[in-house]
Structure 1
């Protein structure tokens, strides 16, 4: 967990104008962010970044407050090429990600907020934005996560569309979703967990979820997904079975087709099969489109019967989605509150 944003980053000790060899061994300069006219050096891990106080203060209230501290008559902090060195506890790559956004005209800058980002980039942005109070970057990262892992069925359907705006690179998909869940647990973003757990269960069978990389997602979170997956399967099965007693599911008096078409029992059996498990033993992904083989049966129905089946399908999606958090052992939707709420 990052240090609280209110803490001033620790300054390295020393009182002389240090050279590269004076500092601890293995220190390297950033290739992209060693700016000749920079007036402060950030050191993260073994990498130093020479940048501008004004640029940092413009984006971060934490850095702005740090630079407003009264300066002692004789500097107590080490300097390199006349610049004070500020040691950060953040990963060097996270610092580089943030600087590449601040300095969007520096060569090799690769972070474009108008394009899809990797989950590692989003993690770096969110971690640094929370710690250093960079509100606009924090909000952009959260917006992207919530767009990909929403709280409503309508938004879930839209998340698979091309017009959904900048999202996340799901490459590889399984590791990406696992990292999203870990990020939500670390930073207190529970609203994205139900749909993220659903997505994980739709990507992999239970043994693959349980046997995944524990450095990405903890065993506890993996077990929570597997148990929720089982709850989801039972909920889907029982909900579809209730169609047999639903008077609005293919009522004979509303059938307007003279020739024979699939019976209620055949259609119901097709849905039970389609919504049970895939050949890879993954769960239904809540797609708005009726899955095969049920879709093939519905296509052979008269218009009236097909409409009733589609209505029941939409109702099941809404009802199970309403209970999705509870199926994964989470509070109801209305009680899920993110850290920025």
Structure 2
């Protein structure tokens, strides 16, 4: 059988290829990819098994070689073959808000055909955007704050800022959606925590494409570094995990800060004064910490800014030991919160 209504792919139709893969586009066109069995088999055990089957006389052929009708969308198969033939090292821009949307179809095929090196490459990039350690999280946060500061300065100097930080920072809802679809559990704790900081009113589509009644976009929040989410990509179960995590975070913070507040054992000089440092200052600072956390939607950031907390408490004349003890206690609370994200949001086990 020699079908004649196939459209040859411009780049991925090799004259010396020994098999043709046929796939449909969204517009219902049939695209022919002429490739090499050896290349496909080398990258995928599934393709190796599929293409090793003995050919019978009834096998369909096209352009003199056998062809296989593929169930995958032509657009997705094209991207996969481009990686295998043209761009072996997949280029993914770090912190791109669209990364999960871009790589999801490719990761689905990498999983389906067990192309392990491609799956590992994509997951590595995703985990760089959604880190597993608190120190890596802090690095990304400093980067985001720097982007926001630059944008604000541009506006202050009457320069247009339409390159909003939100466009160049990871977007959580699409990452969570991809995680479920492609089995990438390690990115979930950071993604859910980030999502817990965002107002439901800060919707990606509404914020980036909607206009005010006067036809001028309201970008004030974006200029100041506001983050948005593609809320429509979350499932009902995701929303339950999100709301559960928010409540558990509040409870955990109250318990952990209160524990540090009353940690008289770790207080360098409990119930006595030491030089200009009075023991009541210890409690005063922890009162400020507790109040700041209670009012915050981002406790990791609040606790990170220890200097601001000390200033808010009137810069009491703490001795070195007390100041060091408070900073150490705050670090311990931050680490406990970070390490507990998995449980707070009821997330699946990490890989």
Q: Confirm or deny a common fold (TM above 0.5).
A: yes
The two structures have a TM-score, normalised by structure 2, of 0.69
1:237 aligns with 2:254: yes
1:205 aligns with 2:189: no
Q: 2:114 matched to which residue of 1? A: 133
What count of residue pairs does the alignment treat as equivalent?
297
For 1:64 and 1:55, locate their aligned partners in 2 and report how far apart those are by CA, in whole Å.
9
> Structure 1 residues 191, 114: CA separation in 2 closer, same or farther (over 3 Å shift)?
closer
Q: 1:270 matched to which residue of 2? A: 288
For 1:43 and 1:224, locate their aligned partners in 2 and report how far apart those are by CA, in whole Å.
41
Q: Say which SS state the counterpart of residue 275 (structure 1) adopts.
A: helix
1:77 aligns with 2:60: yes
Q: 1:124 matched to which residue of 2? A: 105
Q: 1:13 matched to which residue of 2? A: none
Alignment of 1:150-161 (within 5 A): 150-154=131-135, 156-157=137-138
Q: 2:311 matched to which residue of 1? A: 296
For 2:275 and 2:9, locate their aligned partners in 1 and report how far apart those are by CA, in whole Å.
73
> Structure 1 residues 190, 112: CA separation in 2 closer, same or farther (over 3 Å shift)?
closer
Gaps of 5+ in 2: 26-30, 144-164, 207-228
For 2:275 and 2:312, locate their aligned partners in 1 and report how far apart those are by CA, in whole Å.
15
Q: 1:182 matched to which residue of 2? A: 177
Q: Say which SS state the counterpart of residue 41 (structure 1) adopts.
A: strand
The C-alpha deviation readout for 1:312-339, integer Å capped at 9, x for no partner, is 11111232233322211246xxxx253x
1:55 to 30, 39, 48: 39
The Cα of 1:252 is off from its aligned counterpart by 5.7
For 1:75 and 1:234, locate their aligned partners in 2 and report how far apart those are by CA, in whole Å.
67
Q: 1:17 matched to which residue of 2? A: 2
The Cα of 1:90 is off from its aligned counterpart by 2.2
Q: Say which SS state the counterpart of residue 304 (structure 2) adopts.
A: coil
For 1:285 and 1:154, locate their aligned partners in 2 and report how far apart those are by CA, in whole Å.
11
* 1:270/1:293 contact within 8 Å kept: no
> Structure 1 residues 255, 57: CA separation in 2 closer, same or farther (over 3 Å shift)?
farther
The C-alpha deviation readout for 1:21-48, integer Å capped at 9, x for no partner, is xx5xxxx443432334333332333243
Alignment of 1:32-111 (within 5 A): 32-46=11-25, 47-72=31-56, 74-79=57-62, 81-104=63-86, 111=90
RMSD of Structure 2 on Structure 1 (CA): 3.8
The two structures have a TM-score, normalised by structure 1, of 0.71
For 1:103 and 1:75, locate their aligned partners in 2 and report how far apart those are by CA, in whole Å.
30
Gaps of 5+ in 1: 1-15, 163-168
The Cα of 1:197 is off from its aligned counterpart by 0.9
Comparing both structures, which one devotes a greater share of its residues to helix? Answer: 2
